[in-house]
Amino acid sequence: MLREATDDVHSTPRSPPPLPVSAPPSQIRSPSVAASWFARTPSTSVRDYLEEVGHLAGGGADNRDAWLPITESRDGNAYYSAFHILSSGIGFQALMLPVAFTILGWAWGVICLTLAFVWQLYTLWLLVHLHESVPSIRYCRYLHLVKTIFGPKLGKCMAQFPIMYLSAGTCTALIVIGGGSMKLFFEITCGPARVSRPLTSVEWYLVFVCLAVVLAQLPNLNSMAFVSLVGAATAVLYCTMIWVISVSKGRLPEVSYHPVRGKSDVDGMLNVLNALGIIAFAFRGHNLVLEIQATMPSTLKRPSHVPMWRGVGAAYLLIALCMYPVAIGGFWAYGNLIPSNGIVSAMHKFHSHDISRGVLGLTTLLIIVNCLSSYQIYAMPPFDNLEAAYMSVANKPCPRWLRSGFRAFFGSLTFFVAVALPFLSELAGLLGGIALPVTLAYPCFMWILTKKPRRYGGMWCTNWFLGSLGMGLSVLLIIGGIWRIVDKGLNLRFFKAAQ
């Protein structure tokens, strides 16, 4: 096909046509096409030609990208990226930050939170600039970038499971959080009124999944920009409401800020690792950065990393304005009395009697809406993989009915995991430690291998240090997760969701 297209170009007369003829992206690298382009437009500068090549190559050399939901539309902008990053970057993990402060204390809590924020923002900058690290090639998926740099076998071994866990595992957790919040919202709004048979937790999970699957029928990632905007707005609102309510009610009478000590040195070390894990897991969404950037147009004159980084900067300014008040304000209000479930549980435990049901219900409703919105963006990579598997066999776009079926299948799968394996939350530390390098380590190593900075230079030393530190922290969290399971045991309760 490429030869026929090239022959057609050679057979075209040399006389200048009214308009310049552009080649498909698959022919951009052909010297005969380039020569023909120059021959037909002798008055056009090399700069204009390169801009045209950059514009066409920005779509990617594989035409099947235009059939997949992540890259189907490339009309994104800085606003869309900010919406997606906010929706995926702020979540229920941030509400756990005050728990980490009970172990680390004021000084080390603020220091560790700040270092983690700067560290993950730096690796995010690396990923944004690795998206087009090779001219005319866009790495539109995290796994594609890892496999290209580290090799197909090693890259798949390193990143396949962590990325799957960060997508499907997060969707499963969102079902549990969202379904549980729906049950709580029903209890708050109904008050003392009772129905003959209230819905169980599993039934509320099913209600949440049905709503999520209906919302997932939007065709591609760009079409979900408004959904992400709603998710981002609700996340900022409920984080702000929670810390403002907690601080406005004042400190509890017997509050203490002394770091919690373990019964033994081993327990103390495990508690510190748990606190560091809470802070590290609060920053999420790096496995979606390349996919979000793939929705943007890109030329040599205006590469996609420019609007993408503007969106990232705006989003992370709001993320910082949410996370720091939640962590500091929550710890100030509740101190060591805060429950292990986080600041929301503390607010309901200590202030449910002096906060109106309307405020509690609104806060819970905002959490539900945010979970529904976040589910969409975290489910997009699995949606994309399912359609890519179909197209590799059928070699044609996925029909609409089958696309809907794939999304319903994924929703059913995550619902089954949430119901069948309710003890997965006890493995969060272990699984999170395995997935941590995706955020803190792999981008540093990929930058070294791709950009090849000067040996022992600033970028070389920085990335080696941070990458090695990230891998070391991952190993410690894995060891801590295994030790905690061995020490306290694992309650293997299948199909027994918490009521």
pLDDT one-digit tens code per residue, 180-196: 999 999 988 886 556 66
Sign of the C-alpha dihedral computed for residues 26, 30, 36 and 39 taken in this order:
positive
Q: What is the pLDDT of residue 489?
A: 65
**pLDDT tens-place string over residues 287-334:** 999 999 999 998 888 899 999 999 999 999 999 999 999 999 999 999
CA distance 264 to 355: 39
What phi and psi values does residue 121 have, to the nearest 5 degrees? -70, -35
Q: Give per-residue pLDDT as tens, 117-165.
A: 999 999 999 999 999 888 778 999 999 999 999 999 999 999 988 898 8
Q: What is the mean pLDDT of residues 377-401?
A: 92
Mean pLDDT of the chain: 83
> What's the number of CA atoms in the CB half-sphere (13 Å) around residue 384?
27
Domains of the chain (ranges, CATH numbers): 2-52 (no CATH), 76-488 (1.20.1740.10)
How far apart are the C-alpha atoms of 45 and 37, rounded to whole Å? 11
In this predicted structure, which of 10-24, 180-194, 284-298, 464-478 has the lowest mean pLDDT? 10-24
The percent of residues in the chain predicted with pLDDT above 90, rounded, is 52
CB 131 within 8 A of CB 139: yes
Local confidence band at 101 (pLDDT 50, 70, 90 cut-offs): very high
Q: Which pLDDT score is estimated for 262?
A: 73
What digits encode the pLDDT tens for the residues 217-247? 999 999 999 999 999 999 999 999 999 999 9
Q: If you average pLDDT over residues 17-31, what whole number do you get?
A: 39
> What is the pLDDT at residue 399?
92
Phi, psi of 221 (to 5 degrees): -65, -40
Residue 308: other Cβ atoms inside 10 A: 30
Write the CA distances from 236 to 87, 95, 311, integer angstroms: 9, 12, 16
Q: For the segment 353-375, what is each residue's pLDDT rounded down to a tens digit?
A: 888 888 999 999 999 999 999 99
Q: What is the pLDDT of residue 14?
A: 40
pTM (2 d.p.): 0.84
